[in-house]
Amino acid sequence: MLIVAALTGCAANDAFVQRQNSMEGRLEQIMQAQNSTKTELAEISLQLKELKGQVGKMAASEKDARANTDQLQDRLDNLSKRVEQAEAPRSSSVIELVNQDSPPEGREESVQAAYMKAFGLFSANSFRAAADAFEAFITSYPESEYASNARYWLAECYFSEERYKEAVASFEKVLESKPSEKRGSDAMLKTGLSWYKLNNPEKGDLTLRALIEKYPQSDAAVQANEQLNRK
């Protein structure tokens, strides 16, 4: 029984970690699509309630489970504050993110503040400043859970600035990190488009065909097909 309980606790903790990572990714969606922030927040709140309900079923690992639930509650509170900021006029929201002189106390809060500063600049279309901020973030926090996302958005900054050689190199680093299907397919699409901009259609075609083969059901694959069919 003790072994079964321990295994149940480990599985539960893994489930909590996966839920936390999912919520972090949704934060970016909240900032880019303000009209859907309330819906996102409602979904997160529902997930939190479900997680809290699981606490009572895990007597052997109740202490650890409650600690994870408290962490999720803190994350939810932070998300709620950010949603309120996102619903305010865009200019004031960006100013609050970008002009934060001193990050809050604690390493986790400092990492989040640095990442949000860079992402705020990207959301404001300040791509050169955002690229500098993402580069500084990756240098300062290379092992952070936000680092892979920061590398992706750095590549997007280069692409938006038409710095296609740097974009290709950066997107390739994203692909080397074994990203999710969404990140991987988007990175391959932008890599292919960058090759076209660099007057190398052979590599562009090769990259887009590889994307379609690897992620055939992705939105990026649909766009890749459209690009190839234009010829």
Is 101 part of a structural domain of the chain? Answer: no
Is 187 part of a structural domain of the chain? Answer: no
Tell me what the pLDDT averaged over the chain comes to: 76
Of 74-78, 82-86, 117-121, where does mean pLDDT reach its minimum? 82-86
Is 4 part of a structural domain of the chain? Answer: yes
Whether pLDDT at 2 is above 80: no
Can you give the residue range of the structural domain that contains 8? 1-87
Furthest-apart CA pair in the chain: how many Å? 64
The predicted structure's pLDDT at residue 43: 65
The predicted structure's pLDDT at residue 30: 59
Of 88-92, 134-138, 141-145, 149-153, where does mean pLDDT reach its minimum? 88-92
Query: What mean pLDDT comes out for the span 47-75?
Result: 65
Q: b or e along 175-206 (b: 16 or more beta carbons within 10 Å of the residue's beta carbon)? A: eeeebeeebbbbbbbbbbbbbbeeeeeeebbe
Is 20 part of a structural domain of the chain? Answer: yes
Give percent of the chain with pLDDT exceeding 70: 54
Query: What mean pLDDT comes out for the span 19-34?
Result: 59
Q: In whole angstroms, what is the distance from residue 194 CA to residue 167 CA?
A: 7
Per the listing, tokens 């970690």 go with 17
132 contact partners, CB below 8 Å, separation of at least 6:
none
Q: In whole angstroms, what is the distance from residue 58 CA to residue 72 CA?
A: 17
Count of domains observed in the chain: 1
pTM above 0.85, yes or no: no
Is 10 part of a structural domain of the chain? Answer: yes
Is 34:27 a contact under the CB 8 Å cutoff? no
Is 81 part of a structural domain of the chain? Answer: yes
Is 219 part of a structural domain of the chain? Answer: no
pLDDT digits (tens, 9 = 90+) for 85-108: 544 434 333 323 333 344 444 677
Is 182 part of a structural domain of the chain? Answer: no
pLDDT digits (tens, 9 = 90+) for 27-49: 566 555 554 555 566 667 667 66
